[in-house]
Amino acid sequence: MKKFVLFLFLYAVTSTSFAQLTLLHTFDGNVQAQGEYITEPINRYIYRNNNTIQIYKPDFSLEKTVAVSLPAGYDFTLIITTQHFFNSDNKFEFFISAHQTGAAASDHSSYAVIINDEGTVIHDFGYSYSFSGNCYRIAGQLRFVLLKNIYTGTYTYNYSTEIYSCAGSYSGVAPIESHNQLLPYPNPTTSIINLPYELTQGTTAEMRIFNINGQLMEVKQLGSHFNNIMLNVDNYVPGIYFYEYNGNKGKFIVQ
């Protein structure tokens, strides 16, 4: 009896551990969400390659490759990447809409799912003619709005809009990145070195470069639209150099 109760407990935990979306309401038709539209800044580059997703760090180094299990004959058409919207952990999350390649009009030509960066399914939306989804904050709550285009036969379609509540912890603040990941490269260098940086969107800063004696060598203006300075050190004397911006510091070597 105790084993049976334990089994039921483990089954309940397993079956709900990834149930991070709760369907609140379904509307007939295309319903517009009027709230804060959210695109979560995750400070990463996302590259799609066949049925895999590659996550690159701000310094362009590969962080992780995620294998995506899709139905046979389906390929990506849409990816939305978040990190703290559907879950409160630090795993990256992907809303994926996939389309059946070469399919004629049918009610099963698209498939939608949310997975994390381990390939674990957070929510499976199943099949429809087409899907699109967006993230919102409405009345202070995280909501995911899914628009389904449903094929009703003889080339006619109906829309359905599903509203989900989300169990994430996104608050509008970008995740803090450890600056020890933002390393200059190639280091040492003989001519050109890349000095990565991070700025909050819409802000500017100055990057100052010093030699080992504390002499100011150069000042570079930084903007948030980029995240990397390419510094030409052809005229630098071989040795150790330092740079700093907004209290962040680093060093590099010129050979």
- The predicted pLDDT at position 162 comes to 96
- Angle (nearest 5°) at CA 74 between 73 and 76: 150
Q: Which of 151, 28, 169 is nearest to 93 (CA)?
A: 169
Report residue 208 as tokens.
Answer: 């100052």
What residue ranges do the domains of the chain occupy?
19-166, 179-254
Query: Torsion over CA of 191, 197, 201 and 203, rounded to 10 degrees?
Result: -80
Question: How high is the pLDDT of residue 115?
Answer: 95
How far apart (Å, rounded) are the C-alpha atoms in residues 177 and 194?
A: 18
Write the pLDDT tens digit of every residue in 55-73.
988 877 888 899 999 998 8
- The model carries a pTM of 0.62
Interatomic CA distance for residues 146 and 161, integer angstroms:
6
Beta-carbon count within 10 A of 20 CB: 22
CATH number of the 179-254 domain:
2.60.40.3080
CA distance 162 to 148: 8
Query: Which runs of E-coded beta strand occur in 83-176?
Result: 93-100, 110-116, 121-128, 130-138, 141-153, 156-166
The per-residue pLDDT for 140 is 87
pLDDT along the chain (255 residues), means of 10: 41 45 92 88 86 85 90 87 91 92 69 94 92 90 92 80 93 55 81 88 88 90 83 91 89 89
CA-nearest of 200, 133, 142, 135 to 171 is 142
pLDDT at 174: 53
